[in-house]
Structure formats: C-alpha cells, structure tokens
Amino acid sequence: MTDVVINKNRRAERAAVNAVRSLLEDQDQIVQEIDGGNDHGEDLYVTFTEQGHRTGDTIAVQVKGGRSFKAKGGFRVPVGDHAQFWLKSNLTVVCVVQDTDTRNLYWANATQQLRERTRGGSGPKSILVREGDRLDAESLTHFIRILKNYIAETAELHRFLTKISGHAFDVTDYLSYFTNEEGEQLIFQQCRGEAHAWLLHSDMDWCPEPISFDALHFGRPDLEEKHGPHGGLFSSLVTVGNVILDHAEGFWLAGCFMASRWYRQLPPIRSGRGEVSASDAD
C-alpha cells in the first residue's frame, strides 16, 4: 500500500477559500467553487449582485493561504504556468491571500498587473498583493466598484468583435478571440444558461456554428488518411461538429469550454431570506 502525500499547505489554503467564500456570500454575492481549483489556477467564480439582481459582472478568483506568500510590502502569488490564460482571459482574475497569523484577507487584480507589466512576451513571475488592499465587509463595496469599472473598460473587446464579425454580442456573454497563423479569425461565444456555445469563423463568413465540448475531438479516424496519420490528443487534426480545426485552434477551443463552464449554468442567488432562483431574480 502506497502512502498518499498530503500537501502541508492544504489546510491553510482550504481555510482561505472558506473565508473568501463566506465573506462574499454573507454580502449576497454569487460564488461558485471550481473543482480542482488549485490545478487550474482559479478557485472561485464570483458574480456580483446589486439589490438581489445579478449585474452581469463575473470574476475568477485564485485564493492562497500560508506564510510562504509573505513578501516585502505584502504578499507574492506565483504566476506559474497560468500567465497566458490570466493575461488573455475574458474573465478578470483576482488573487486573494489570507494572512495565516491575522486571518485578514488581501487582494490584487492579477489580470491588470499582467497586462500592464508584460512586454515582448515576458511578464512578471508573481502577482503583488499589497497590505493596503484589504478585503473585508467594510471594504467589499469598494472592491466590487473597482472591479466593475475595470470590467466595463474591457468591454471594448465586445465592440471590437462586433465590428469585425458584424455579429451582436450580449455584455454578459463569455467571449474569446483567436487568430491562427494564416490570419483567419475565430470567436468563441458562450451565452449564459445555454447548454451549447457558438463558434464564429472568418473563413465561414462569420456564420455562428453551435458547438459543444462533447463534439470536440482530437483525431478523426475517418479523416486521418487525408489530413495526416497522427491520432489521439496530439493529432494535427481536430474537429468540433462539422468544423475542422488545426491543433492550436483545438487547444484554444478546449480552454474556452473549460473557462466558460459556469456560464452554462444559472445558479441561485443566495440571500438572507433563503435562495432565490436565477429566473426569479431576473
């Protein structure tokens, strides 16, 4: 029998996630915990509410706890291999650290730091979380206002994608944009509450194609003879429904499906009076 090695920092990280979740839910914000969050780099999705209604503003949160993140002036959260996703994600990614001695929470906008400090393909190795940016019940309104303003600024992406495709997008849609090596442009669109997503491709005259994760296949035996001999995950041939993609497009699309999974659900809003269904809250 092989002993299972337990991460020594697991207890501190679990306590930190619980603290963030409790703080936000106590103020009637919608919190969705991500399975395997430590593996993907984000632990929570948070949708802001106002007077019992969703505002349409959603962020992803990575939560850290433990003394190892202490640094001069605050804390440092390693970026690791999440840099490109945090940099290009349509969801703003926020890092929250809990001081294990005081139990206080502190936060930083990881997406903003990466976008401002990445030059020539090289960005910061860690996110600075300052001691002055405390997250508690008193500062939560300020925290939400800052992030809502930042999200509004990034809505420029919606305008850009509408301009190039001629397709109207809702401000609450999850959108992602990709340009392949031949200059062809692709847009991934996930509408909130829809079981499927949409793929818009410049080479297909921007005609929206309904797609699902189950229809995404790396390797097609019936097409390999024409498109190449390599099958399985690392096949150069990728299909989603009737659309044929290259390898890079396939991995981009897989990442889009993973990141937008929560958008395909409509969780209830928590309030002091109990749970209110999403349909009732609209």
| Tens of pLDDT, residues 146-187 | 999 988 877 778 889 999 999 988 766 889 999 988 899 999
pTM of the model: 0.59
Classify burial at 57, counting beta carbons within 10 Å of its beta carbon; exposed 0-12, middle 13-18, buried 19 or more: buried
Distance CA 247, CA 218 (A): 8
**Residue-by-residue DSSP string for 26-52:** HTT-EEEEPTTHHHHT--EEEEEEETT
Assign 91 to helix, strand or coil.
coil
Q: CB-based contacts of 108: which residues, under 8 Å, 6+ apart?
A: 77, 94, 95, 127, 128, 129, 130, 133
Can you read off the two tokens belonging to residue 95? Answer: 């890092």
- 114 and 193 in a single domain? The answer is no
pLDDT given for residue 49 in this prediction = 93
Distance CA 264, CA 195 (A): 6
pLDDT given for residue 234 in this prediction = 46
Instruction: Residue 193: give the domain boundaries.
Output: 156-262
pLDDT given for residue 75 in this prediction = 95
pLDDT given for residue 278 in this prediction = 41
- Final residue before a domain boundary, out of 113, 141, 169: 141
| Count of domains for the chain | 2
Give strand pairing partners of 132: none
- 111 and 136 in a single domain? The answer is yes
Q: Which parts of the chain register pLDDT below 50?
A: 4, 37, 227-234, 267-282
CATH of residue 49's domain is: 3.40.1350.10
- 129 and 184 in a single domain? The answer is no
Quick check: is 180 in a domain? yes
Can you read off the two tokens belonging to residue 143? Answer: 């925290």
- 166 and 136 in a single domain? The answer is no
Q: CB-based contacts of 37: which residues, under 8 Å, 6+ apart?
A: 17, 43, 44, 62, 63
Measured between alpha carbons, how far is residue 70 from residues 42, 64, 74 in Å? 20, 11, 6
What is the distance, to the nearest Å, from the Cα of residue 160 to the centroid of all Cα atoms in its chain?
Answer: 20
Give strand pairing partners of 174: 190
184-207 pLDDT, tens digit per residue, is 999 999 987 889 999 999 999 999
pLDDT given for residue 152 in this prediction = 83
- 24 and 53 in a single domain? The answer is yes
- Contact by Cβ (8 Å): 253, 212: no
pLDDT given for residue 277 in this prediction = 40
